[in-house]
Amino acid sequence: MTGFRPRTAVLALALLGAGCESEVPFPTDDELDQLSALHTQSVKPEADPTNKWADNPDAASLGQRLFEDPKLSRCGTVSCKSCHAGESYTVETATAEGCGGHQSERNPPSLLNVGYSRWFMWDGRADRLWSQAVLPLTNPIEMDSDATVVRTRLSEEPTYTAGYTQLFGKAPADESDPDRLMANLGKVLAAYQRTLNRTDAPFDADVRRFLQAVEAGTQEKDPAYLGLKTFVRKGQCVVCHKGRSLSDDKFHNLGLKDTGAGRRGQADVVDTLVSWPLNAAGPYSDAPSGIDAARLPTLKAQAQSKPTEVEGAFRTPTLRNVALSAPYMHTGAEKTLEDVINFYNEGGDPAGTFVGVRTETIVKLDLSSEEKQALVTLLKSMTGAAK
Ligand code: HEC
Ligand code: HEC
């Protein structure tokens, strides 16, 4: 890799000096580092010490059955799968239907590769995959359930009772702590969801090939050249969609039109998360003093010291498998990937349609139609191989 670096740097400087910024050869050393961090090969989700059953195959198979069981809902007709179905584990509409015909407030995210995330929900109100599950279960407009409904269901189905007892050492009927019962259910649901991975994508092979072309000095002839260059340079996409998961695991205000009750995004949820008994630091966590727990006080301190950064901020989603999960954004307002690119090209939605301050990276991009097309092609190449 080092062979060409001085050459690129010298050229870049020479061209910058000539006042010809758009001609700086792509990639510069910094851009090369960003590109090198993007590709992956079948890396499993990181271990989750807060859930002892996270990688337990018996928990995963029980979790799959429970994920698909509508009788865990109070109305008896809504399962996790009702809103997270098909190959992308989501729905094709902007919102999804829960108990009583209620519509969810936001766009259900795909669950593919969800085990790689650090924060869950668009606003980050859950910090662990297992505790996330308790939110739709108890949400009156989603599954409208509680520990009593869950205990009854686990107890009336003998294979559930046996599976639960084997994993947790106690029958569901004997679990008197409602939060413990819900946390345990969340832990088996998480074990299942951690298996829903699609990683190796044409994108990964393209990036590897492009990096070799850079070494050979032939990158401009590579078919991925324009897409990668626009993603990294003109579009600034890589500022947030970075690394193997194509997400910085952070929250940003893009200036996306939202008139819903949850439009303040992360600003509304930090305090609740930090004091939630089901968070990574709480009594139901299997590692209450581990690194996941240590992130919570930091989160709170950041939110307090920089309130504008959490106002209207939503989580950067992974772009892996993004072609499978239209419509897009937390509102589901962008119907296609072309629409998403137009949103970014405009520098986001007009002022006055969203709360808070738009993050400074989101500006009008002035992309050519070739650049837009190249970005869409690049996004479509991020679909991983089906298992
Ligand atoms: C009525 C539809 C509905 C049901 C039922 C439902 N979900 Fe969801 N799910 C959503 C919506 C909508 C969101 C996004 C909510 C938000 O961010 O405010 C979501 C978010 C998630 C997330 C976070 C993903 C991410 O990337 O942040 C996970 C994980 C998830 N659901 C799993 C489940 C599980 C497990 C169940 C069953 C216990 C379930 N869902 C039931 C609609 C539903
Ligand atoms: C400042 C950080 C940032 C930058 C820069 C950025 N994104 Fe995003 N991206 C996000 C966030 C945050 C969301 C979710 C926003 C929301 O729903 O409110 C998102 C959402 C998306 C989505 C929708 C994904 C889904 O599952 O709904 C796509 C596609 C996307 N971005 C592609 C891009 C492309 C292409 C670029 C470059 C032109 C780009 N992003 C630049 C942070 C960023």
Q: What is the largest CA-CA distance in the chain?
A: 77
> Is 49 inside a domain boundary?
no
Residue 23, both tokens: 């001609």
**What pLDDT, in 10s, does the model give residues 254-275?**
999 999 999 999 999 999 999 9
* C-alpha–C-alpha distance, residues 166 and 53, integer Å: 12
Name residues contacting ligand 1 (CB within 6 A): 67, 78, 80, 82-84, 96, 98, 104, 106, 108-109, 111, 114, 117, 120-122, 129, 132-133, 136-137, 142-143, 189, 193
Q: Which of 282, 290, 59, 296 is nearest to 186 (CA)?
A: 59
Phi and psi for 206 in degrees, rounded to 5? -65, -45
pLDDT score of 41? 74
Residue 239, both tokens: 């500022």
Name residues contacting ligand 2 (CB within 6 A): 122, 235-237, 239-241, 252, 254, 256, 314, 316-317, 319, 322, 325, 328-330, 337, 340, 344, 359, 361-362, 375, 379
Residue 274, both tokens: 């930090």
Query: The tokens 């191989």 sit on which residue?
Result: 385
* In a shared domain, residues 65 and 15: no
Q: Quickly state the pLDDT bin for 42 (edges 50, 70, 90).
A: confident
Q: Quickly state the pLDDT bin for 21 (edges 50, 70, 90).
A: low
> Is 121 inside a domain boundary?
yes
* In a shared domain, residues 76 and 206: no
Percent of the chain exceeding pLDDT 90 equals 92
Residue 32, both tokens: 């090369």
* C-alpha–C-alpha distance, residues 244 and 186, integer Å: 26
Q: Which of 80, 61, 60 is nearest to 71 (CA)?
A: 80
Higher pLDDT, 156 or 13: 156
pLDDT score of 22? 57
Whether the full predicted model's pTM is greater than 0.85, yes or no, is yes
**What pLDDT, in 10s, does the model give residues 165-215?**
999 999 999 999 999 999 999 999 999 999 999 999 999 999 999 999 999
Phi and psi for 115 in degrees, rounded to 5? -65, -10
CA of residue 316 to ligand 2 center, whole Å: 6
Q: Domain of 160?
A: 57-193
Residue 367 Cα: closest atom of ligand 2: 38
Q: What angle do CA 335, 237, 40 make, to 5 degrees?
A: 100
Question: Beta partners for 90?
Answer: 85
For ligand 2, mutation pick of 90, 116, 319, 364 (most atoms within 8 Å of CB): 319
Query: Are the beta carbons of 98 and 243 closer than 8 angstroms?
Result: no
* In a shared domain, residues 189 and 205: no
* Mean pLDDT along residues 281-309: 97
* In a shared domain, residues 241 and 175: no
Structural domain total, the chain: 2
Q: Which CATH number does the domain housing residue 214 bear?
A: 1.10.760
> Is 263 inside a domain boundary?
no
**What pLDDT, in 10s, does the model give residues 75-132?**
999 999 999 999 999 999 999 999 999 999 999 999 999 999 999 999 999 999 999 9
CA of residue 317 to ligand 2 center, whole Å: 7
Q: Measuring CA to CA, how many Å separate 253 from each of 46, 250, 307, 341?
A: 27, 11, 12, 17
**What pLDDT, in 10s, does the model give residues 62-85?**
999 999 999 999 999 999 999 999
* In a shared domain, residues 169 and 207: no
Residue 285, both tokens: 């966590």
Residue 101: CA atoms inside 13 Å, Cβ hemisphere, count?
A: 0
Instruction: Round to the nearest angstrom and report the end-to-end CA distance of the chain.
Output: 33
Q: What angle do CA 113, 318, 102 make, to 5 degrees?
A: 80
* C-alpha–C-alpha distance, residues 116 and 106, integer Å: 21
* In a shared domain, residues 184 and 239: no
Percent of the chain exceeding pLDDT 70 equals 94
Name the residue with the closest Cα to ligand 2, atom 11: 316
| Residue ending a domain, choose from 138, 162, 193 | 193
Q: Which of 332, 333, 329, 271 is nearest to 303 (CA)?
A: 271
Residue 231 Cα: closest atom of ligand 2: 37
Name the residue with the closest Cα to ligand 2, atom 33: 237
Q: What is the DSSP string of 35-81?
A: HHTT--SSPPPPP-TT-TTTT-HHHHHHHHHHHT-GGGSSSSS--HH
* C-alpha–C-alpha distance, residues 27 and 211, integer Å: 10
* In a shared domain, residues 129 and 177: yes
> Is 261 inside a domain boundary?
no
* In a shared domain, residues 186 and 227: no
CA of residue 180 to ligand 2 center, whole Å: 36
CA of residue 49 to ligand 2 center, whole Å: 29
Q: Which of 317, 133, 118, 115 is nearest to 196 (CA)?
A: 115
What rounded mean pLDDT belongs to the chain?
94
Secondary-structure percent of the chain, ordered helix, strand, coil, rounded to 5? 45, 5, 50
Q: Which CATH number does the domain housing residue 180 bear?
A: 1.10.760.10
Neighbours of 14 (CB within 10 A): 12
* C-alpha–C-alpha distance, residues 67 and 191, integer Å: 11
Residue 230 has pLDDT above 80, yes or no: yes
